[in-house]
Structure 1
Amino acid sequence: MTSAPRPRPKYYDLNLLHLPPAGLVSIFHRVTGGLLFLGIPVLLYTLQLALSSEAGFETVRACLTSPLMKVVLLGITWLYAHHFFAGIRYLLLDFHIGIEKRPSGISARVVLALGVIATLVVAGMIW
């Protein structure tokens, strides 16, 4: 008697490059939502520091003018912009607007482009 063949191990391809735009928007929407949620305590602390005194305001202002913090702010801007535009896309999909394959792919590309455009506009304003 021979033993039954052992099942082969499964290897998952975690490369996002082969996903369609709608898949990327879906994954990014979830990730941006989680990161924005986790950033709420930092935002509240910064707001509390800036509003507590003039010295606190100057501390926050000095921190926000550094080049590294400007890059961080651009990252946060992209997080918010992408999550916002993807949320609008999903609301429209909930109302069965653009739910077919072609319009869905177009709206996914529009969401990805609008997130980048909004970030570039903010980059132009802070630099």
Structure 2
Amino acid sequence: MTQASPGARERPMSPHLQVWRWHVTMLTSILHRMTGVGLYVGALIGAGWALALASGPDAYHGYMSLLASPLGRLVLFGLTVALFYHLANGLRHLVWDSGKGLDIKTANFSSILIIAFALAASVAVWAIAFSIGAVK
């Protein structure tokens, strides 16, 4: 018969904490899910805009004032990043579905490229919007 020690035993760590180490493709996988959720929020913001438009000039002005506030612009910029990121990562998944780009070096490079593209494209869209006067 075995003897149990009277104190609490040290429990082993979960296997995924022992085996996996953080890498950029893990980040892109998590970001893909997060941006998908963010785009749902963006759809609700778009629906709110349409409701405000249908509700008359006062409601529309109030909603647009909210979107033009610093917090509103930050949310809209985040939605722009989410849109470009989700689009680019979705295209990468289409390439992966064809069996290409799955080796570690290419997958890591494409991960970094997608993040850089999403940020650069978002900054470019907002810079153009500011330059043409669409955003004041």
TM-score by length of 2: 0.74
Q: In the TM superposition, what are the counterparts of 1:15-26 in structure 2 within 5 Å? A: 19-26=22-29
Q: CA deviation at 1:9?
A: 5.1
Q: CA deviation at 1:39?
A: 4.3
Structure 1: which 5+ runs fail to align? none
**Superposition RMSD on alpha carbons, in Å?**
2.5
2:64 aligned residue (43, 61, 66): 61
* Structure 1 counterpart of 2:65, one-letter code: A
- Structure 2 partner of 1:90: 93
Q: CA deviation at 1:43?
A: 2.7
Identity across matched positions, percent: 25
Structure 2: which 5+ runs fail to align? 130-134
* Bigger radius of gyration among the two: 2
* Structure 2 counterpart of 1:115, one-letter code: A
Distance verdict in 2 for CA 1:59–1:72, change over 3 Å: same
Residues of 2 paired with 1:33 and 1:122: CA distance? 20
Q: CA deviation at 1:21?
A: 1.7
Higher RCO structure (Cα 8 Å, ≥6 apart): 1
- Structure 2 partner of 1:76: 79
SS state at 2:74 partner: helix
- Structure 2 partner of 1:100: 103
